[in-house]
């Protein structure tokens, strides 16, 4: 394994306490350089090197496939964002009135609105409440004979609740229910194995834990479903005859490229490819260990603070990079403003303040951030 110089890779402004990877992550140095190089090449050579760009695009697909342990890149498409991928699934499946979709009551709006948009077809969306001692069992209990699909976030954006996807995947498989995972809050931070959790669909934009730019997302569709999703976007790029502009006949590509209608986001692709190269060099297992060290350290410091009340369910064995808390006497908007003014970059989410470090966050950043939470009301 190559040693990665983390200090050099993350040249962050030392005045900031950046604890907002669950929103938008800072780019690693190599990502910023890859994007600059790409911009420079465009300025001086235009698309002369397009063949090389396609190699970078292919490399990104391979890295994404490895990241989720997908059997091949055939199942990986690049989309603009998570919402686009979820919409392609929602509006690609064949629904009957009376069909049910189960989600949870803590989902980010994208993983609720797309399913609710199907209500015009007579499809019902059922929310399983996660505030229970065994959230996975509560979700499983919500699956019934009418349920066609379960869609959950691997990690809830507000509280950081991490779900046991293997258990949910098994429950779906046993009942013949499709399983869709919005993995944006875990990919790049925690290991993910699509084969083990038996997900039919996985979607995740790259700008959070994967440390990439906004606007390039992983879209995984399990092989058996590739030609099951009805397409709503067509163009030169998603056909088998791609590049042969003279033929008038066309056939839909038989791999996941069928979901990519036109020119790709090459700029974003160059950025995300560089970010994933870094994550691969560090390794998923080390990333998880380092992240857990930081989250545990943060939890300890927050617990010692007399005004802090934790919202995140810290007793669960599955943990994420998110820790959310409230102040006993300061309302969340006031605390958020105070922290922002003190250069602590975080977010008001899940009923409190959400801190989200990544594996490389220096421990003194955690100390400083917690020290800046007012002790007095
Ligand atoms: C769980 C979850 N899903 C989706 C999104 C947004 O997705 P996108 O902007 O990639 O559509 C977010 C952003 O915060 C999120 O937390």
Which ligand 1 atom lies nearest to the CA of residue 155?
A: 1
In angstroms, the Cα distances linking 279 to 31, 134, 290 are 11, 32, 12
pLDDT tens figures, 117-147 = 999 999 999 999 999 999 999 999 999 999 9
Q: Where are the alpha helices (DSSP H) in the chain?
A: 6-9, 29-45, 50-68, 82-90, 110-116, 135-142, 165-175, 194-197, 266-282, 284-304, 332-341, 363-371
Whether residue 108 has its Cβ less than 6 Å from ligand 1: yes
Predicted pLDDT at 2: 64
Which ligand 1 atom lies nearest to the CA of residue 80?
A: 10
pLDDT tens figures, 68-110 = 999 999 999 999 999 999 999 999 999 999 999 999 999 999 9
Please give the sequence-ordered ranges of beta strands (E in DSSP) within 143-282, or none if there are none: 147-153, 178-182, 201-205, 217-221
Whether residue 185 has its Cβ less than 6 Å from ligand 1: yes
Angle in degrees, 0-180, between the axes of helices 363-371 and 284-304, rounded to the nearest 10: 30
Cα angle 126, 132, 134; round to 5: 95
Whether residue 356 has its Cβ less than 6 Å from ligand 1: no
pLDDT tens figures, 180-232 = 999 999 999 999 999 999 999 999 999 999 999 999 999 999 999 999 999 99
Q: What is the mean pLDDT of the chain?
A: 96
Whether residue 164 has its Cβ less than 6 Å from ligand 1: no
pLDDT tens figures, 258-271 = 999 999 999 999 99
Angle in degrees, 0-180, between the axes of helices 266-282 and 29-45, rounded to the nearest 10: 150
Atom 2 of ligand 1: nearest residue by CA position: 108
Name residues whose C-beta falls within 8 Å of residue 44's C-beta, 6 or more positions apart in sequence: none
In angstroms, the Cα distances linking 85 to 32, 76, 111, 219, 336 are 26, 11, 10, 6, 32
How far is the centre of ligand 1, averaged over its atoms, from the C-alpha of 319 (Å)? 19
Predicted pLDDT at 314: 87
pLDDT band at 1 (very low <50, low <70, confident <90, very high): very low
Which residue out of 110, 163, 204 has the highest number of ligand 1 atoms within 8 Å of its CB and is therefore the one to mutate? Answer: 110
Cβ atoms of 92 and 116 within 8 Å: the answer is no
Whether residue 214 has its Cβ less than 6 Å from ligand 1: no
């Amino acid at each position: 394994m190559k040693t990665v110089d983390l200090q050099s890779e993350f040249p962050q402004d030392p005045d900031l306490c950046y604890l907002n990877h669950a929103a938008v992550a800072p780019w690693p140095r190599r990502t910023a350089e890859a994007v600059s190089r790409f911009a420079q090449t465009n300025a001086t050579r235009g698309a002369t090197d397009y063949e090389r760009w396609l190699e970078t695009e292919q490399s990104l697909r391979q890295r994404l496939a490895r990241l989720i342990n997908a059997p091949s890149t055939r199942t990986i498409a690049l989309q603009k964002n998570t919402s686009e991928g979820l919409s392609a699934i929602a509006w690609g499946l064949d629904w009957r009135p009376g069909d049910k979709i189960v989600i949870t009551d803590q989902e980010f709006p994208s993983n609720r609105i797309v399913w609710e948009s199907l209500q015009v077809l007579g499809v019902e969306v059922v929310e399983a409440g996660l505030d229970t001692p065994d959230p996975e069992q509560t979700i499983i209990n919500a699956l019934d004979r009418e349920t066609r699909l379960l869609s959950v976030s691997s990690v809830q954006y507000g509280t950081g609740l991490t779900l046991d996807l293997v258990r949910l995947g098994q429950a779906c498989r046993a009942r013949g229910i499709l399983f869709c995972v919005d993995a944006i809050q875990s990919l790049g931070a925690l290991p993910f194995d699509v084969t083990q959790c038996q997900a039919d669909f996985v979607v995740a934009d790259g700008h959070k834990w994967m440390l990439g730019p906004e606007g390039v997302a992983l879209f995984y569709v399990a092989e058996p479903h590739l030609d099951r999703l009805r397409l709503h976007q067509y163009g030169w790029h998603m056909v088998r005859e791609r590049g042969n502009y003279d033929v008038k006949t066309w056939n839909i590509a038989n791999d996941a490229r069928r979901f990519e209608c036109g020119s790709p986001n090459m700029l974003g692709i160059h950025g995300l490819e560089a970010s994933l190269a870094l994550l691969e060099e560090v390794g998923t297992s080390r990333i998880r260990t380092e992240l857990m060290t930081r989250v545990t350290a943060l939890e300890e410091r927050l617990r010692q603070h007399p005004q802090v009340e934790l919202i995140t369910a810290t007793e669960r064995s599955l943990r994420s990079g998110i820790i959310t808390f409230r102040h006993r006497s300061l309302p969340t908007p006031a605390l958020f403003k105070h922290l922002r003014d003190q250069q602590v970059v975080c977010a008001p989410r899940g009923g409190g303040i959400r801190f989200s470090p990544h594996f490389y966050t220096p421990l003194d950043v955690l100390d400083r951030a917690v020290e800046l939470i007012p002790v007095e009301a």
